[in-house]
Structure 1
Amino acid sequence: MIDNVTVRRLGPNEASACVEALAEVLIDCVEGGASVSFMLPISREKALAFWRTVANGVALGERTLLIAEDGNGEIVGTVQLITAQPENQPHRADVAKMLVHRKARRRGIAQHLMREVDRIAREEKKSVLVLDTVTGGDAERLYQRAGWQRVGDVPNYALMPDGAFCGTTFYCKQL
């Protein structure tokens, strides 16, 4: 627990039950400028549909969903470990949608989520993790401090929520 925040893994039923709260975190992050696959304005329906798909992936065993809850039980952060990979990559997983609500940032929540991702990945016999993030964004420092190795950049890979182009930096971590 960090600063009265608990990180835990959600099972299939819990993942479905948390869709509303997870949508709030996603909407806040996108409205705050995070390039996480969604454009402004992001509708509540679109955010809910995304999290329902994630919950289905949890139920199918294709991904792990972690949440960070504050002392009031409110979800303030989340990250996913996508374990469904091609047959020739059973040792690999992708880390996706590292999100922390703006009101809960700068408290070590993202670091705690990333440590738990590493622990679960090891538990699931994954030895290579991969992720991508906005080039030059705040998350790069987080990943580098957590032992991730920068692989390379792709200019103009994605769009920011406001429609501006952004580069993407790819990282990997050997466990």
Structure 2
Amino acid sequence: MTARIPVSAARVEENRSHPRLRDLLAEYHLFNQAEKGTAVETVAELPAVYRGEAEDPAGAFAVDTVLLVTAPGDDTPSGCAVLKASRAGAAPEIKRLWIAPEARRKGLAQALMAEALRRAAASGAPAVRLTVWSWRQEPLALYRSLGFATVDSWDERPDLVCLEKPLGSEEPLGSEEPLDVIERLTPEAVRAHAPAGLAALLVDAVDSGASVGFLAPLEASRAAGWWSGAAEEAAAGVRDVWAAHAPDGSLAGVVTLVRTGADNGRHRGEIARLLVHRSARGRGLGRRLLATAEAHAAATGLRLLVLDTQTDSPAERLYRGAGWTAAGSIPDFAADPAGTLRPTTLYYKRLG
């Protein structure tokens, strides 16, 4: 597995004249043209506005903030992003987020986004916005996990999703506290984490009173067995699993998305096993995990999500705050870890 870099460990600098920036922007635009079905071979063949950015970024972004990110131990930046200056009263926009393919899945995109958001907040902007193609699942999941939400389009190109994030209502974005990195786990990774990290999350949830299908005390071996089964479901395409890696490398949280097998239910999925370790609670990780799963569900064609949770549990506040609707409660639906029967509330959320 690729080593994750804490957000605070990557070096982010502002430099619109760095010689590496031309290459990064050229890679971005050539990839983007190919992705849109209008591939070209060279920078010279790009549309004029994009060609100008790749050939003369200092001139193209003269009034904007250009950020470059370098991984620890490297001398050359591996990624870039541009925070466009606010124009005509509109919120500043993050553009041209690009990480070189060989440097991905290391947390560098998160580092760039954190710095861009910090600078936008420091400028006094009430919000920041961006656009992303609907088929770009991983970037869309990243933006959702950072609190961006879909808004009315300001760019009418088909398949372009417009997102916006309010600023000023959360903890200071300039904090040096590293962020947990959320990653979609392969079936092999689920199997590898099952005996330790994932089992520990499930045991911790049961020990702290969460109603997640088990009675206390839950043995680690049984918890690991459940995750081994989840790995098989992941391999079969039935269950997607995301884990949050804490800065020290441990697993701080997990969420899964289960797809319905019935022919008449292929439009919906279920959020299950949203777990955040007690040591990682209170910093918005549950919301980020939920947003990541929701974004992936929408990007892969699901139109409805459902879940159930113990009535009056802390999880209800999370779901209501994330825009989920309570459909009703069932008394004595499931036993809590102590064995007492408790009511459960069913929730749903429409996507798109």
Q: TM-score, normalised by structure 1?
A: 0.97
Percent identity between the aligned chains? 37
Pair 1:10-2:185 in alignment: yes
Give the corresponding residue for 1:124. 300
Give the corresponding residue for 1:160. 336
Give the corresponding residue for 1:66. 242
State the AA in 1 paired with 2:289: L
State the AA in 2 paired with 1:169: T
Deviations 1:104-141 (A, max 9, x none): 10110000001101110011100000000000000001
Give the corresponding residue for 2:267. 91
Deviations 1:12-35 (A, max 9, x none): 111111112100010011011111
State the AA in 2 paired with 1:139: A
Distance in 2 separating the partners of 1:27 and 1:8: 21
Among candidates 31, 37, 47, match of residue 223 of structure 2? 47
Distance in 2 separating the partners of 1:164 and 1:140: 19
Pair 1:104-2:104 in alignment: no
> Larger relative contact order (C-alpha < 8 A, sep ≥ 6)?
1
Aligned partner of residue 256 in structure 2, secondary structure: strand
Aligned partner of residue 42 in structure 1, secondary structure: coil
What runs of 5+ residues in structure 2 fail to find an aligned partner?
A: 1-109, 111-145, 147-177
Aligned partner of residue 253 in structure 2, secondary structure: strand
Give the corresponding residue for 1:30. 206
State the AA in 1 paired with 2:186: G
What runs of 5+ residues in structure 1 fail to find an aligned partner?
A: none
Cα offset for 1:11?
1.0
Give the corresponding residue for 2:323. 147
Give the corresponding residue for 2:252. 76
Query: What is the root-mean-square deviation of aligned Cα atoms in Å?
Result: 1.1
Distance in 1 separating the partners of 2:235 and 2:249: 23
Distance in 2 separating the partners of 1:85 and 1:130: 14
State the AA in 2 paired with 1:150: A
Cα offset for 1:7?
1.0
Query: Once superposed, which parts of structure 1, at least 4 consecutive aligned residues long, lie more than 4 Å away?
Result: none
Q: TM-score, normalised by structure 2?
A: 0.49
Aligned partner of residue 139 in structure 1, secondary structure: helix
Larger radius of gyration: 2
State the AA in 2 paired with 1:147: G
Give the corresponding residue for 2:314. 138
Cα offset for 1:38?
0.3
Cα offset for 1:72?
1.3
State the AA in 2 paired with 1:6: V
Cα offset for 1:45?
1.5
Aligned partner of residue 264 in structure 2, secondary structure: coil
State the AA in 1 paired with 2:312: G
Cα offset for 1:6?
1.0
Instruction: Give the number of equivalent residue pairs.
Output: 175
State the AA in 2 paired with 1:41: P
State the AA in 1 paired with 2:192: A
Distance in 2 separating the partners of 1:141 and 1:40: 24
Aligned partner of residue 33 in structure 1, secondary structure: coil
Cα offset for 1:85?
2.6
Distance in 2 separating the partners of 1:95 and 1:78: 11
Paired residues of 1:85 and 1:93 also in contact (CA < 8 A): no
